[in-house]
Structure 1
Amino acid sequence: MQLNFDADVEEFRAEFRAFLDENLPSEAQAAERAGSSADIPQWAREWQRLQFDNGWLLPGNPPEFGGRNAGILEQYVHLEELSKRRIYHSFNPQGLGIIAASLLSFGTEEQKKQWAAPILRAEITAALGMSEPGAGSDLASLRTRADRDGDHFVVNGQKVWTSGAHDADVILTFVRTDPDAPKHQGISVLMIPTDSPGLVRRPFASICADDDLDFNEVFFTDVKVPAENLIGELNKGWSVATGSLGHERNLLWLSFADRLQDLMADFHPATDIDRDHYATLVMDHQALRLLGSAALARAARGEQDVAALSILKLLGSEAVQRSSEEALIAAGPQGLVHPALTSAYNPMDNEAFSSSWFERYARSFAGTIAGGTSEIQRTIVAERVLGLPRS
């Protein structure tokens, strides 16, 4: 396996590094955190817009949407360099990685101008309205309903776990438009402004006590949505759903590799796990990198391997969770103490020092749920790799 890149990819990397060297926000700016995943501080809006204007926001996009038509290998080194600098390219990740990407794939030219470009330029922020109280992993069971009434839809129902909804300007919302169709059919997608009458957002806390509010319940009561806000075809929303999650999963494994790298670097005498567990952590990190590199090479050749992405998601998310748990156990009662209460605390250090070992372990469960649960990933591997019958 060749684990280096051709000269043109390294030239791309060097150009991006030069841009970062010249324009990277200060440490003081980067230390300022957003209140939610749809709350962008002013400095971060300016940083995102600067990347957009220079084609560095999402290099795989065309220039008019913040990119430079880069290939998958260039997109990989772009994310790798951002990770090395410990800087986000956006504080509205679902807006960039899922919602704007879905608009570029399924939206009309007018919708791209109206919503995709402003989201990418950090002029507005977006949330994703998928999950419901009875439709989490089984998204096709959603019951939020949209009935056509002349030139608009009337929406009634509820969403939950809608990250950043209370700060977002719009919600990409999955609704049922044909209740008599089979559950994977009859679904449509609407872009709904959050200031629409009848739309109520209720943020709620996560398990991590020091978290700002991000999760939301969203209630729709006779919310009128213009018919031109329909994204994609009527009753064909399942293809938008699978496409939306596909955008999220493509290089998701890299974020887990980065978190494993952080864990390897963050152990210290107060939270030192035993050598066997540390060796497992190192091997998991190396395996994830190697398997990810192989999947990356296949993607660069135009090959699609959904099962490989499921294996990477499963390996990465569960390795992070397992290692975080082992670190918490090794730390004992000290693992419950926030680092700010210890002499080792440095607010300019990486994310590891912004939360206790317990909080890091608690957050690890999000990785085994978001982007497709571990159970769903195992089903995909069983059917597509092992050839087992459909459950």
Structure 2
Amino acid sequence: MRLTFDEDVEKFRAEFVAFLHEHLPAEAEAAERSRSSAHVPEWARRWQRLLFDEGWLLPGNPPEFGGRNASLLQQYVHLEELARRRIYHSFNPQGLGIIAASLLSFGTEEQKRKWAAPILRAEITAALGMSEPGAGSDLASLKTRATLQGDRFVVNGQKVWTSGAHDADVLLTFVRTDPDAPKHKGISVLLIPTDTPGVTRRPFGSIVSPEDLDFNEVFFSDVEVPAENLVGPLNDGWRVATGSLGHERTLLWLNFAERLEDLVRDMNPQGPLDRDRYATLVMDAQALRLLGSAALARAARGEQDVAALSVLKLLGSEAVQGAAERALESSGPQGLEHPATTAPFAHMNLDDFSAGRFERYARSFAGTIAGGTSEIQRSIIAERVLGLPRG
């Protein structure tokens, strides 16, 4: 199957490709790397602002928020062209894809002006405060408490795995505001500037490297937050949470497909068993493309299919993990080496295409966790596709 598009979509693609040819930063200019998912080097801030100003940052947005009211298929070819070139449009992906998107969906006009637009223009960066030591995949078990006192909330508690928090300017933080309500009903969402007294951020290393500081513990001790920083209605944070993750999942399968195909190209199968595994991964990549294209066509017609997104998330994340494992195995001891050089413009992306094989394998586990774990996706598929009762 070959995916084709109408003339208006291909014209949109050609215009974007011409923009990239003219404005893509030179490799020497873009030498400085990001140190976390909320640290944006100055050259990357300029690049993101240019994309915003020209309507190429998030084309589906209105012009005042970095877009051009593009259709879903136009948004798809935009992401496809970025992926083909291993280019990322922001080094603060959660800021663009989750936090600013959530503010545009649930925030007030003032919040959109004060927070969403500066995040999109790379004037400030943002991190997502969801997970806690006792509430990882089960967000509804969170215990961080926010008590409304007059015109402000007082926040106490802890978050963990908060990517980029030590470099972020603001946290989109999920808190419990009604401890007596059912656990899904008593959650609210607050924007908390990281320089607020009582906020403590402690970055820690990962399995990839002790120096790879992106994850954080974040502590809140009597942190006072203006009531105007409440996102969405009080105690309606669960709806904001599901909307936030929905923004992340819509075209996530394309990212998985590009990573999978890159890993497959990186393999050098030796022997019958290795070739058999290689062939399986090639088929996984094709299946992901075909299923994703079908889901894209349904979405373009306005059809809602949450179960299809779960199938794509599960297949894509686990296929990438399997491909990374096979690439590591096939390379033997050399798989533990870090590459001395990177591919052209690989520095534009989030290190996925320039890391060593072990790093890529270790990072592949994030795909089966972020945006909804594989276990959660299987539960959704069991209920909505197979019609099984809730466990």
TM-score range, shorter chain: over 0.9
Matched, 1:390 2:390: yes
Deviations 1:160-206 (A, max 9, x none): 01000000000000000000000000100000000000000000011
Q: Any idea what SS the aligned residue of 2:52 has?
A: helix
Q: Any idea what SS the aligned residue of 2:166 has?
A: coil
Contact 2:87–2:345 (CA under 8 A) maintained in structure 1 = no
CA distance in 1, matches of 2:292, 2:196: 43
Contact 1:273–1:330 (CA under 8 A) maintained in structure 2 = no
**1:123 Cα deviation after fit:** 0.4
**1:46 Cα deviation after fit:** 0.4
- 1:286 alignment counterpart: 286
- Letter paired with 1:36: S
Q: Any idea what SS the aligned residue of 1:339 has?
A: coil
Matched, 1:154 2:143: no
- Letter paired with 1:320: V
- Letter paired with 1:163: S
**Cα separation, partners in 2 of 1:372 and 1:269, compared to 1, 3 Å:** closer
**Cα separation, partners in 2 of 1:363 and 1:230, compared to 1, 3 Å:** same
**1:265 Cα deviation after fit:** 2.0
CA distance in 2, matches of 1:282, 1:254: 15
- Letter paired with 1:363: R
**Cα separation, partners in 2 of 1:339 and 1:153, compared to 1, 3 Å:** same
- Letter paired with 2:358: F
**1:358 Cα deviation after fit:** 1.5
Contact 1:55–1:68 (CA under 8 A) maintained in structure 2 = yes
Which is worse superposed, 184-193 or 83-92?
A: 83-92
1:158-169 aligned at under 5 Å gives the runs 158-169=158-169
- Letter paired with 2:124: I
Long gaps (5+) in structure 1: none
**1:354 Cα deviation after fit:** 3.2
Contact 2:165–2:215 (CA under 8 A) maintained in structure 1 = yes
The aligned length equals 387
Give % identity. 79
- 1:107 alignment counterpart: 107
Contact 2:98–2:248 (CA under 8 A) maintained in structure 1 = yes
Deviations 1:91-131 (A, max 9, x none): 10000000000000000001100000000000000000000
Q: Any idea what SS the aligned residue of 1:143 has?
A: coil
- Letter paired with 1:196: T
- Letter paired with 2:319: A
CA distance in 2, matches of 1:247, 1:294: 19
- 1:29 alignment counterpart: 29
**Cα separation, partners in 2 of 1:353 and 1:374, compared to 1, 3 Å:** closer
**1:275 Cα deviation after fit:** 1.3
Q: Any idea what SS the aligned residue of 1:287 has?
A: helix
Q: Any idea what SS the aligned residue of 1:181 has?
A: coil
Matched, 1:318 2:323: no
- 2:303 alignment counterpart: 303
CA distance in 2, matches of 1:39, 1:182: 37
Matched, 1:137 2:137: yes
Contact 2:264–2:323 (CA under 8 A) maintained in structure 1 = no
Matched, 1:252 2:252: yes
Deviations 1:181-237 (A, max 9, x none): 000001000000000000000000111027631000000000000000000000011
Deviations 1:343-388 (A, max 9, x none): xx45647456633222111111000000000000000000000000
Contact 2:98–2:245 (CA under 8 A) maintained in structure 1 = yes
Contact 1:266–1:352 (CA under 8 A) maintained in structure 2 = no
- 2:227 alignment counterpart: 227
**1:26 Cα deviation after fit:** 1.0
1:3-42 aligned at under 5 Å gives the runs 3-42=3-42
**Cα separation, partners in 2 of 1:347 and 1:83, compared to 1, 3 Å:** closer
- Letter paired with 1:152: R
Contact 1:272–1:330 (CA under 8 A) maintained in structure 2 = no
1:169-208 aligned at under 5 Å gives the runs 169-208=169-208
TM-score with structure 1 length normalisation? 0.96
**Cα separation, partners in 2 of 1:84 and 1:94, compared to 1, 3 Å:** same
- 2:354 alignment counterpart: 354
CA distance in 2, matches of 1:353, 1:380: 31
Which is worse superposed, 267-276 or 32-41?
A: 267-276
**Cα separation, partners in 2 of 1:65 and 1:311, compared to 1, 3 Å:** same
1:25-104 aligned at under 5 Å gives the runs 25-104=25-104
CA distance in 2, matches of 1:141, 1:269: 45
CA distance in 2, matches of 1:76, 1:322: 25
- 1:368 alignment counterpart: 368
Q: Any idea what SS the aligned residue of 2:157 has?
A: strand
CA distance in 2, matches of 1:360, 1:349: 17
- 1:263 alignment counterpart: 263
- 2:333 alignment counterpart: 333
**1:334 Cα deviation after fit:** 1.9
**1:54 Cα deviation after fit:** 0.6
Contact 2:267–2:330 (CA under 8 A) maintained in structure 1 = no
CA distance in 2, matches of 1:303, 1:363: 33
- Letter paired with 2:34: A
Q: Any idea what SS the aligned residue of 1:45 has?
A: helix
Q: Any idea what SS the aligned residue of 1:354 has?
A: coil
CA distance in 1, matches of 2:315, 2:354: 25
**1:2 Cα deviation after fit:** 6.7
What RMSD, in angstroms, separates the aligned Cα atoms of the two structures?
1.8
